[in-house]
Amino acid sequence: MWPHLVTWAEHTSTACDLAGQQQTSTTTALSGDDLREWTQLARAARSSGRLTPYESWYDADQRLITIAVLEHQAETFTVVALAGDLDSPNVQVLGHYEDEVEAIEASPPPVPPGVLHPAASPYAERAHSAEVSFQALIQDVREARRASEVAEAIEAAVDRYGLTRGQLVRLEEFVSVCAEFAQALGTQHAQRVAGRLSALSRQFAVLTTELRDAGDDLSSTVAVLPPHRTPLPQRPPGNDHPATPTTLPTAPPATTPAHRR
Protein backbone atom coordinates (compact mmCIF):
# COMPACT_ATOMS: atom_id res chain seq x y z
CA MET A 1 0.00 0.00 0.00
CA TRP A 2 2.93 2.34 0.53
CA PRO A 3 3.27 3.46 -3.14
CA HIS A 4 -0.45 4.29 -3.19
CA LEU A 5 -0.20 6.24 0.07
CA VAL A 6 2.77 8.21 -1.26
CA THR A 7 0.90 9.00 -4.48
CA TRP A 8 -2.16 10.14 -2.53
CA ALA A 9 -0.03 12.32 -0.23
CA GLU A 10 1.65 13.97 -3.22
CA HIS A 11 -1.69 14.82 -4.85
CA THR A 12 -3.77 15.74 -1.80
CA SER A 13 -3.56 19.46 -2.48
CA THR A 14 -4.57 18.91 -6.11
CA ALA A 15 -7.60 16.86 -5.08
CA CYS A 16 -8.65 19.54 -2.60
CA ASP A 17 -8.31 22.25 -5.24
CA LEU A 18 -10.39 20.25 -7.71
CA ALA A 19 -13.07 19.72 -5.07
CA GLY A 20 -13.14 23.47 -4.57
CA GLN A 21 -14.06 23.95 -8.21
CA GLN A 22 -17.56 22.88 -7.31
CA GLN A 23 -18.08 26.25 -5.66
CA THR A 24 -20.09 28.58 -7.83
CA SER A 25 -18.86 32.11 -8.29
CA THR A 26 -21.17 34.84 -7.05
CA THR A 27 -19.64 37.38 -9.40
CA THR A 28 -22.16 39.47 -11.28
CA ALA A 29 -20.30 40.20 -14.49
CA LEU A 30 -20.26 43.82 -15.54
CA SER A 31 -21.60 44.62 -18.97
CA GLY A 32 -22.27 47.52 -21.26
CA ASP A 33 -21.35 50.98 -19.98
CA ASP A 34 -20.36 49.70 -16.53
CA LEU A 35 -17.85 47.28 -18.04
CA ARG A 36 -16.30 49.95 -20.27
CA GLU A 37 -16.20 52.55 -17.49
CA TRP A 38 -14.53 50.33 -14.87
CA THR A 39 -12.14 48.81 -17.39
CA GLN A 40 -11.01 52.27 -18.51
CA LEU A 41 -10.58 53.29 -14.87
CA ALA A 42 -8.44 50.21 -14.20
CA ARG A 43 -6.25 50.74 -17.29
CA ALA A 44 -5.70 54.40 -16.43
CA ALA A 45 -4.85 53.48 -12.84
CA ARG A 46 -2.42 50.81 -14.02
CA SER A 47 -0.57 53.20 -16.32
CA SER A 48 -0.28 55.80 -13.55
CA GLY A 49 0.74 53.38 -10.80
CA ARG A 50 -2.55 53.53 -8.91
CA LEU A 51 -3.55 49.88 -9.39
CA THR A 52 -1.87 47.64 -6.80
CA PRO A 53 -2.20 43.84 -7.32
CA TYR A 54 -3.18 41.95 -4.18
CA GLU A 55 -3.51 38.31 -5.32
CA SER A 56 -3.80 36.41 -8.58
CA TRP A 57 -4.62 32.93 -9.87
CA TYR A 58 -5.94 31.08 -12.93
CA ASP A 59 -9.55 29.89 -13.08
CA ALA A 60 -10.97 26.81 -14.81
CA ASP A 61 -11.27 28.78 -18.08
CA GLN A 62 -7.50 29.49 -17.98
CA ARG A 63 -8.12 33.17 -17.34
CA LEU A 64 -5.70 35.06 -15.13
CA ILE A 65 -7.79 36.48 -12.28
CA THR A 66 -6.26 39.35 -10.29
CA ILE A 67 -7.57 41.06 -7.18
CA ALA A 68 -6.24 44.62 -7.07
CA VAL A 69 -6.71 47.82 -5.13
CA LEU A 70 -7.68 50.73 -7.37
CA GLU A 71 -6.87 54.22 -6.11
CA HIS A 72 -9.13 56.96 -7.42
CA GLN A 73 -8.05 60.54 -8.05
CA ALA A 74 -9.76 61.64 -4.84
CA GLU A 75 -7.54 59.28 -2.80
CA THR A 76 -10.36 56.80 -2.28
CA PHE A 77 -9.91 53.10 -2.88
CA THR A 78 -11.93 50.31 -4.47
CA VAL A 79 -11.07 46.63 -4.69
CA VAL A 80 -11.59 45.23 -8.19
CA ALA A 81 -11.38 41.77 -9.73
CA LEU A 82 -9.87 41.67 -13.21
CA ALA A 83 -9.53 38.99 -15.87
CA GLY A 84 -6.44 38.99 -18.09
CA ASP A 85 -2.96 40.45 -18.04
CA LEU A 86 -3.01 43.79 -16.23
CA ASP A 87 -0.77 45.30 -18.93
CA SER A 88 -2.77 43.87 -21.82
CA PRO A 89 -5.38 45.92 -23.72
CA ASN A 90 -7.73 42.95 -23.32
CA VAL A 91 -7.92 43.13 -19.51
CA GLN A 92 -11.44 43.49 -18.15
CA VAL A 93 -12.93 44.29 -14.76
CA LEU A 94 -15.17 41.52 -13.46
CA GLY A 95 -16.50 43.42 -10.48
CA HIS A 96 -15.78 45.94 -7.73
CA TYR A 97 -16.02 45.28 -4.00
CA GLU A 98 -15.61 46.75 -0.54
CA ASP A 99 -12.55 44.70 0.46
CA GLU A 100 -10.21 41.96 -0.71
CA VAL A 101 -12.03 39.14 1.12
CA GLU A 102 -15.31 39.93 -0.58
CA ALA A 103 -13.57 40.15 -3.96
CA ILE A 104 -11.88 36.75 -3.54
CA GLU A 105 -15.07 35.04 -2.42
CA ALA A 106 -17.04 36.51 -5.33
CA SER A 107 -14.47 35.66 -8.02
CA PRO A 108 -14.02 32.39 -9.94
CA PRO A 109 -12.06 29.91 -7.80
CA PRO A 110 -8.47 29.00 -8.66
CA VAL A 111 -7.29 25.81 -10.31
CA PRO A 112 -4.25 23.92 -8.98
CA PRO A 113 -1.02 25.77 -9.81
CA GLY A 114 1.53 24.21 -12.14
CA VAL A 115 5.24 23.56 -11.74
CA LEU A 116 8.20 24.23 -13.98
CA HIS A 117 9.65 20.74 -13.68
CA PRO A 118 8.39 17.59 -11.95
CA ALA A 119 9.97 17.45 -8.51
CA ALA A 120 11.11 14.41 -6.60
CA SER A 121 8.73 13.10 -3.99
CA PRO A 122 9.18 14.89 -0.66
CA TYR A 123 8.40 11.55 1.01
CA ALA A 124 11.19 9.66 -0.72
CA GLU A 125 14.78 9.56 0.50
CA ARG A 126 17.08 12.02 -1.20
CA ALA A 127 20.83 11.84 -1.46
CA HIS A 128 22.33 15.18 -0.56
CA SER A 129 25.85 15.83 -1.76
CA ALA A 130 28.06 17.86 0.50
CA GLU A 131 28.76 21.29 -0.96
CA VAL A 132 31.59 23.60 0.02
CA SER A 133 30.24 26.90 1.33
CA PHE A 134 31.61 30.27 0.31
CA GLN A 135 32.58 30.88 3.94
CA ALA A 136 34.78 27.79 3.88
CA LEU A 137 36.38 28.89 0.59
CA ILE A 138 37.05 32.38 1.97
CA GLN A 139 38.68 30.86 5.04
CA ASP A 140 40.81 28.61 2.81
CA VAL A 141 42.08 31.66 0.90
CA ARG A 142 42.81 33.56 4.12
CA GLU A 143 44.90 30.67 5.43
CA ALA A 144 46.55 29.85 2.09
CA ARG A 145 50.30 30.04 1.69
CA ARG A 146 50.68 28.98 -1.95
CA ALA A 147 49.08 30.23 -5.16
CA SER A 148 47.98 26.67 -5.93
CA GLU A 149 45.85 26.61 -2.77
CA VAL A 150 43.95 29.72 -3.86
CA ALA A 151 43.61 28.30 -7.36
CA GLU A 152 42.04 25.18 -5.85
CA ALA A 153 39.53 27.34 -3.95
CA ILE A 154 38.64 29.17 -7.17
CA GLU A 155 38.21 25.85 -8.97
CA ALA A 156 35.84 24.67 -6.23
CA ALA A 157 33.74 27.83 -6.68
CA VAL A 158 33.47 27.51 -10.47
CA ASP A 159 33.41 23.70 -10.84
CA ARG A 160 30.66 22.85 -13.32
CA TYR A 161 31.11 19.11 -13.84
CA GLY A 162 32.27 17.73 -10.51
CA LEU A 163 30.30 15.80 -7.91
CA THR A 164 29.61 19.04 -6.05
CA ARG A 165 28.94 21.92 -8.41
CA GLY A 166 30.60 25.22 -7.54
CA GLN A 167 28.76 28.00 -5.75
CA LEU A 168 29.03 30.42 -8.68
CA VAL A 169 27.64 27.76 -11.00
CA ARG A 170 24.78 27.22 -8.53
CA LEU A 171 24.16 30.96 -8.47
CA GLU A 172 24.04 31.08 -12.27
CA GLU A 173 21.60 28.14 -12.26
CA PHE A 174 19.48 29.82 -9.58
CA VAL A 175 19.12 33.06 -11.55
CA SER A 176 18.39 31.08 -14.73
CA VAL A 177 15.59 29.13 -13.04
CA CYS A 178 14.16 32.38 -11.66
CA ALA A 179 14.15 33.79 -15.20
CA GLU A 180 12.41 30.66 -16.46
CA PHE A 181 9.76 31.03 -13.76
CA ALA A 182 9.16 34.70 -14.57
CA GLN A 183 8.89 33.87 -18.27
CA ALA A 184 6.35 31.13 -17.53
CA LEU A 185 4.08 33.61 -15.72
CA GLY A 186 3.12 34.92 -19.14
CA THR A 187 2.33 38.52 -18.23
CA GLN A 188 4.07 41.41 -19.96
CA HIS A 189 5.54 42.73 -16.71
CA ALA A 190 6.88 39.29 -15.75
CA GLN A 191 8.45 38.85 -19.18
CA ARG A 192 10.35 42.11 -18.74
CA VAL A 193 11.63 40.84 -15.40
CA ALA A 194 12.51 37.52 -17.06
CA GLY A 195 14.64 39.40 -19.60
CA ARG A 196 16.57 41.12 -16.81
CA LEU A 197 17.13 37.82 -14.98
CA SER A 198 18.27 36.10 -18.18
CA ALA A 199 20.80 38.87 -18.78
CA LEU A 200 22.09 38.47 -15.21
CA SER A 201 22.40 34.71 -15.71
CA ARG A 202 24.54 35.28 -18.82
CA GLN A 203 26.70 37.76 -16.90
CA PHE A 204 27.25 35.17 -14.16
CA ALA A 205 28.27 32.65 -16.82
CA VAL A 206 30.85 35.10 -18.20
CA LEU A 207 32.06 35.87 -14.67
CA THR A 208 32.46 32.16 -13.93
CA THR A 209 34.52 31.64 -17.07
CA GLU A 210 36.74 34.65 -16.34
CA LEU A 211 37.27 33.51 -12.75
CA ARG A 212 38.21 30.01 -13.90
CA ASP A 213 40.79 31.47 -16.31
CA ALA A 214 42.20 33.69 -13.56
CA GLY A 215 42.48 30.66 -11.29
CA ASP A 216 44.38 28.75 -13.98
CA ASP A 217 46.76 31.68 -14.42
CA LEU A 218 47.28 31.91 -10.66
CA SER A 219 48.02 28.20 -10.45
CA SER A 220 50.65 28.46 -13.20
CA THR A 221 52.65 31.04 -11.21
CA VAL A 222 53.88 28.34 -8.76
CA ALA A 223 54.34 31.10 -6.21
CA VAL A 224 54.32 31.20 -2.43
CA LEU A 225 53.80 34.08 0.00
CA PRO A 226 56.97 35.66 1.34
CA PRO A 227 57.41 35.28 5.10
CA HIS A 228 56.54 38.89 5.89
CA ARG A 229 53.24 38.54 3.99
CA THR A 230 52.08 35.41 5.77
CA PRO A 231 48.50 36.00 6.98
CA LEU A 232 48.09 36.63 10.66
CA PRO A 233 45.81 34.36 12.71
CA GLN A 234 42.19 35.45 12.57
CA ARG A 235 40.66 37.04 15.65
CA PRO A 236 37.97 35.03 17.44
CA PRO A 237 34.41 35.76 16.26
CA GLY A 238 32.77 38.70 18.00
CA ASN A 239 36.04 40.48 18.71
CA ASP A 240 35.48 43.55 16.56
CA HIS A 241 38.25 45.62 18.10
CA PRO A 242 41.87 44.88 17.26
CA ALA A 243 43.95 43.80 20.15
CA THR A 244 45.76 46.72 21.72
CA PRO A 245 49.44 45.99 22.12
CA THR A 246 50.47 46.16 25.74
CA THR A 247 53.92 46.77 27.19
CA LEU A 248 55.16 45.80 30.57
CA PRO A 249 55.51 48.67 33.04
CA THR A 250 59.00 50.07 33.25
CA ALA A 251 60.86 48.73 36.24
CA PRO A 252 61.87 51.36 38.83
CA PRO A 253 65.54 52.39 38.71
CA ALA A 254 67.83 50.25 40.75
CA THR A 255 68.90 51.87 44.02
CA THR A 256 71.98 51.09 46.09
CA PRO A 257 71.07 50.19 49.64
CA ALA A 258 72.44 52.62 52.20
CA HIS A 259 75.42 51.43 54.19
CA ARG A 260 74.85 50.89 57.83
CA ARG A 261 76.64 53.30 59.99
pLDDT in tens, 161-177: 877 788 899 999 999 99
Name the pairing type of β-strands 64-71 and 51-58: antiparallel
Q: What pLDDT, on the 0 to 100 scale, is given for residue 248?
A: 47
Entry field: residues in the chain? 261
Q: What pLDDT, on the 0 to 100 scale, is given for residue 222?
A: 83
Q: What pLDDT, on the 0 to 100 scale, is given for residue 131?
A: 73
Q: What pLDDT, on the 0 to 100 scale, is given for residue 114?
A: 79
Q: What pLDDT, on the 0 to 100 scale, is given for residue 194?
A: 96
Q: Which residues of the chain have a pLDDT value below 50? A: 24-26, 123-128, 240-249, 254-261
Other Cβ atoms within 10 Å of 90 Cβ, number: 8
Which residues are CB-neighbours of 22 under 8 A, at least 6 positions away? none
Q: What pLDDT, on the 0 to 100 scale, is given for residue 260?
A: 41
Other Cβ atoms within 10 Å of 80 Cβ, number: 23
Torsion angle defined by CA atoms of residues 28, 53, 62 and 192, in that order, rounded to the nearest 10 degrees: 150
Q: What pLDDT, on the 0 to 100 scale, is given for residue 237?
A: 53
- Rounded Cα distance between 233 and 227, Å, is 14
Question: Under the phi-then-psi rule, with left for phi > 0, alpha for psi from -120 to 50, and beta for the rest, what region is 37?
Answer: alpha
